[in-house]
Each structure stands twice: as structure tokens, then as C-alpha cells.
Amino acid sequence: MLVAGEEPTWRKSIMLAKDDKGEEETALEPRVEEEQTGVAHPKSGDLLDLMARFLESPGNVLLIQGAPGTGKTTLALELLNEMKGTRIGPHTISANKVYVSSRVSSSKLHRHFPGVHEVLDSMSGKETAGSETRVGGDSRIAGAANIVGRILTLKRAKQKGIIVVDSWEGAIANATEEQRNAMETAIFQDLEESKLSAVIVSESESSPKLDYLVDGIVTLSLSHLEDRTVRSVVVNKLRGFRLHTQRALFSLDGGKFTLLPRVEFHFDIDRSVNPKLLSPVRNSESSYSTGSPDLDALLDGGVRKGSSLLLDVNSTVSPHSVKLLLDIMAANFINQGGTAFIIPYSIFSSQNIAESLKTYVGDAVLNERVRIAEFNQVLRDEKWRVKLTGRLQEDLAAFNNAWNELGTISSARALKYDFDKTVQLYGETLGLPGIAEIGAGIRDSRALSVGVISRPTNLREELLRAVDYHLKMQTVNGSLLIYGIKPITNVHGVKFGFEQGYPRLSLTEIV
């Protein structure tokens, strides 16, 4: 059993030596609470905050179930860490936090939890040496009987707290029927009067014998996306709480249970903030930065100069998400002296693209170093606008003129295009405008080529073989995901932040 206290304004870092599958995990930095007291209202769809709020109500029992390796222990410890103390005047009394482990040895728990006062391995009943505090009971009594004694002691204290039993199967493995009944009574009865809540971890993917005893059920699972691991959490029930969503994806990166951001929160832009010119993420001598250090790392340091990158987007992805990523990449490239020719993506007009880029690079730079294709002939002329007709030979000539003009301004050039739009305009057999003429020239001049594709076409397979970098994007359970085919990478959750008025992209790797 583990009893831990914490500072009221900090959520201390938690680290396990090994999770369900024995994977090594690392310590986390402490993080500041938004409020010193009380329970913060969870954001819509934030299941972790919702579970923590559920356990703030004395008497509630939450069951965490799932197959081995799904992250049950990490979630249980995260919820243990989330429990806040009781505010009395200017002081806060820390909540009692009791962790009973039958799956991780007491020595490892004590070694990796600096705030631990006492550790009990419920399988043996042994306490670790050097414990600072001992809560009644006979350490010679193994398993269930020892747990019951400790819980009853906490109940008598009538102090706010949380009990975590990890796992239920391990705790009752050697218990008699009488001992099991005693433990069920200790955990599931009179918790509210004792100001306690409880978390039960089950090693099974379904726990019908516990379902009727608990107030909330959470199921963790693993699935695969093209041989890449994806972790999911489903809230089956949470009595008394309205669920805006039942499912989410999460990661165990850094030994922490982290929900992937939901895509609907990516566009909460604070319009009161006047963005400054986008501060670029610097290119290296051999590679162009994407504008996101996280995405650069996924691509092994950025996109090599003279290379091509393909964004393979399925129908679940909002065009706004793709446009944001392309805006970040274009602005980062242009703000380092580069030039760009852009065929607008999807539903967006040349005017829309120009307005976005002008915000991040400035009006003068837009006119000097950006050229944007437009197929609507009635729009007024702009220095940055290149009107195309949809007739291949005429458009190739217009493209080549603009491309060569940009080459006189800067040796660093980028071509950004919507593959689906060009196929729709010119037909599959004709290929991309300008590729036949400038494909080799792009590599030779160390330019950057970025394309987007979403529809299955005859040219798709040819394109997939030809590109240097291939990234796939899709939305799963409300989270935008990106992962590499070239190079092969794990799945990452995408988050767009607008803290300074312009977009920044960060990734959370699902591990």
C-alpha cells in the first residue's frame, strides 16, 4: 500500500519503472495547477478531467479494465495524483492517497515515488524498508486481509482520500470467500460517509462480476493502424456525469497518461491577439524545416533540400487542418528568404491563401516572393496572383514564367500543389503541371516540392513511388493523426496552438 501527500498547488510528477507490459518510463516535470482549491470544470470532451472530477465525489468507485499493456496502471496513478486536498481557511489538508499494488513491487514503487510514505506489496504483505509512516495492520497477514485492515483504518480517519487497488485479480488471488467478501465490503460500502472514493483496476477486458458494484467503468484498449499502435480509452459509464464524448485516443509517452487533443479545439483562435510576423524555425544546411520542430523530428531533421513531400489525406480530415499545416510550412519557408508557387488546396481560393499568408509574412513579402494560382479569370489582377486557364499548354507556360521569376529572387523555391485539383483540371494521363519540365530541375536547384492527395487515381501509385517523403493524415475518435510511410514512424496526435496569434503545430507520439 502506498500513501502519498502532495503540495496543493502542484501536481507532482509520476513515474513508474514499468507499466503493464514492463515498458520503461521516465519522470515528468511538475506542472502548476490552474486553481489552488476546488475542482476545475473539465473542458468539453476532456475525459481525464471528467474522471478526476468524478472521483472528487466521495463514494464513487471507478473500474479501469483492459488487456495487459493497455496503460491501466498509468491511468490509475494519474487519477491518484489528480486528487486535490480539502481547503480550510488559508490552509489545505492533503488528501489521503492509498495505492495497493499486486503487479508492481513495493521496492520499485517506493524508489520511483519520492512522496511515498509507505509501500505495501499486497501479494506478500511486506512493507518496504525505510517507510516514514505506518498505518495499522499486521504486515505478516498477506493479500486481502492486509488490505482490508488498512482501508478500515483510513475509513475511521474520515478524511478526504482515494483508494486504488491494482489489480483486483491479484488482490483476491489467494483470498478465501470470507476474505473476498470482507474486502468488497471494505471498498464498496460506506465510502461516502468516510469521504473516500476508489479506483479498481481489472486485468480483464470485461469485468461482469465488478460491473454492478461500481459507479463508473473505463475500458482501455490497443488497436493497430497500418501496423502502428493506437491506444484508446472508452468511458462505458460515469454515473451522474454527462459525457460529451465517450472515446478518445491517448499516449503513455514519458510515463504519463496523456489524451490526444481533439480536432475541434484546434481552431479556437484568439482574434484579440495581433500576430507578429511568424518567427521561423531555421533551416539547416541540408534540410528545410517544416516550421514545426516536432514535425521536423518525425522527418529525421526536416525535408532534405531538393526533395518532394506528399501529404496523403483521407476523407475524415478537415480541409482547414491541412490548410493550417500548409500555411505553417509556407510561412516558415518564405520568412527565411524563400519563394513559393502555390496551387491552392481543396476548397480554398487564391484570395483566401493570400490573406492567410499576408498575416504571417507581411504584405510586401507576399507580393515579392509568393505566386498563387487562380482559375477564376474574372478576379482582379494582383502581383501575387497567377491566372491559369485550365488548358495545359497555356498553364505550363504561365507556371514556368512565374517559377523562373521566383528563381531570380531567391535560390530557395517551393512548389505547393493540390494533386487532386490538378488531376481534375488536366486529367490523369497528363500528370502534374510542370512536373515533366521541372521535375529534375527541382532536385538540381535544391527546391522543395509539397503535394497533397486524397482521392484514389491511376497516377497515385506512380506518385507514391516517386516521392521522397510520404505522410498520412486521418482523424480517429476526434483526434487528428499523422504518421510516416517514408520514413516509417509511429502514429502522432496533432495539435495546433494559437497562443501568439499565429499557428504552431505540436505532436504527441502514441507510445
Give CA–CA dist 305/177, Å, rounded. Answer: 69
**3-class secondary structure for 235-261?**
EEEECCCCCCCCEEEEECHHHCCEECC
Give the least confident one: 14-23, 103-112, 139-148.
14-23
CB 200 within 8 A of CB 168: yes
What percentage of the chain exceeds 70 in pLDDT? 75
Give CA–CA dist 312/128, Å, rounded. Answer: 53
pLDDT value of residue 329: 95
Across residues 56-69, what is the average pLDDT? 91
pTM: predicted TM-score of the whole model, two decimal places = 0.80
pLDDT value of residue 170: 80
Query: What pLDDT band is residue 230 in, cutting at 50, 70 and 90?
Result: very high
pLDDT value of residue 33: 32
- Residue 482 backbone phi and psi in degrees, to 5: -140, 140
Q: How many CB atoms lie within 10 A of CB 429?
A: 8
249-278 pLDDT, tens per residue?
999 988 889 999 888 644 445 545 566 666
Give the bridge partners for 70, in sequence order: none
Give CA–CA dist 292/265, Å, rounded. Answer: 19
Between 435-444 and 392-409, two packed helices, what is the crossing angle to 10 degrees? 20
pLDDT value of residue 194: 80
Query: What pLDDT band is residue 461 in, cutting at 50, 70 and 90?
Result: confident
Q: Which domains are present in the chain?
A: 2-259 (3.40.50.300), 287-509 (3.40.50.300)
More confident residue, 307 or 150: 307
Give the least confident one: 19-28, 74-83, 136-145, 290-299.
19-28
Sign of CA dihedral 296, 301, 304, 308: negative
pLDDT value of residue 278: 64
91-135 pLDDT, tens per residue?
666 677 778 877 666 666 655 544 444 444 444 444 444 333 333
Residue 219 to residues 222, 259, 267, Cα–Cα distance (Å): 10, 14, 29
In three-state secondary structure terms, 75 is helix
**3-class secondary structure for 188-228?**
HCCCCCCCEEEEEEECCCCCHHHHCCCCEEEEEEEEEECCE
Name the grid cell of 394. Answer: 497555356
* Mean predicted lDDT score pLDDT of the chain: 78
Across residues 366-395, what is the average pLDDT? 92
Residue type, 139: S
pLDDT value of residue 279: 75
pLDDT value of residue 37: 28
- pLDDT of 343 > 60? The answer is yes
In three-state secondary structure terms, 132 is coil
400-452 pLDDT, tens per residue?
899 999 999 999 999 998 888 887 887 766 554 445 455 666 777 889 999 99
In three-state secondary structure terms, 178 is helix
pLDDT value of residue 131: 34
pLDDT value of residue 502: 77
Give CA–CA dist 336/406, Å, rounded. Answer: 14
